[in-house]
Amino acid sequence: MELSASVSIQHTDSGLEYINVDSPLCSGKVFLQGAQLSEFTPKGQNSLIWVSADEDYQEGKPIRGGIPICWPWFGIHEKADWPIHGVARKLLWRAEEVNEFSDHIVVRLSLPMRLVDETYWPYNSKLEVEFRFSEQLEVRLTNTNLGDRAFTLSQALHTYFPTPDIKRTTVDGLQGATYIEFNEGPFVQQDVVGFTRETDMVYTQAGVTQTIHTPEGCIEVTRENSSSCVLWNPWIEKSKRLSNFRDDEYHTMLCLEAANVMGDMVTVEPGKSHTLATIIRWI
């Protein structure tokens, strides 16, 4: 038995193409540019994904919000003139598959490797992302090594979550993990994390599940094949410098990102694959 769902290709006013999902379980949007999810709302509940009110959906520019895919490196590369967070989030991915099942919808996209400059990625590989839509959202990013030499990469699913008030929001489940912040550390996380300033924590040896406590409810965030994650809020001064981001929007969002970074970087041997996954839901 299949869901009575509608899955269609639609366009923004600016011309960007996206896959629109509307089912009895949820609604969602995935843009072909960057394979970037910009909406996931379980039916009868609030949205689980945040996007800036100033986002204008322009070609060649990542969406400010949703789930940008950072690949094949996260953050600032050691070569300063290389693009921050890699190249995948600005390229046009190809829709490969849409399948409807009794309890979920699968949307799968791949990145045509001919679009990736060999200066940045000189390897024979395949990159796919799969979105599973139901009462929860599952995102699975898979690297497959098609060549004859191993490669190493860092990556992240840079998920933006909503909150009505960042000052009354906390993140539980990071206690005991080590973190680096602003190139200082490592420190050990002792308590539940609250927000009173700019936050940019890169965690390693982190538990696989965290809970975001917001005034609107609790969001459970689970990772697979990842012992690292990133917690981010730009706060006041950095918000003023961000594109497509209102000065006061730091009040309404935070990022908790499934990652493979620092000591958790991934090496994929010839003929092998690695899948980074994040699963999010209201609890």
| Residue among 85, 104, 158, 251 flagged as catalytic | 158
Residue for token pair 């840079």? 158
Q: DSSP alpha helices (H): ranges in 103-208?
A: none
Q: DSSP alpha helices (H): ranges in 139-223?
A: none
Distance CA 35, CA 29 (A): 10
| Residue among 39, 55, 249, 257 flagged as catalytic | 257
Distance CA 152, CA 57 (A): 32
| Residue 152 vs residues 125, 196, 262: alpha-carbon distances, Å | 12, 36, 11
| Residue 6 vs residues 28, 30, 45: alpha-carbon distances, Å | 11, 14, 19
The yes-or-no answer on residue 158 being catalytic is yes
Catalytic residues: 158, 257
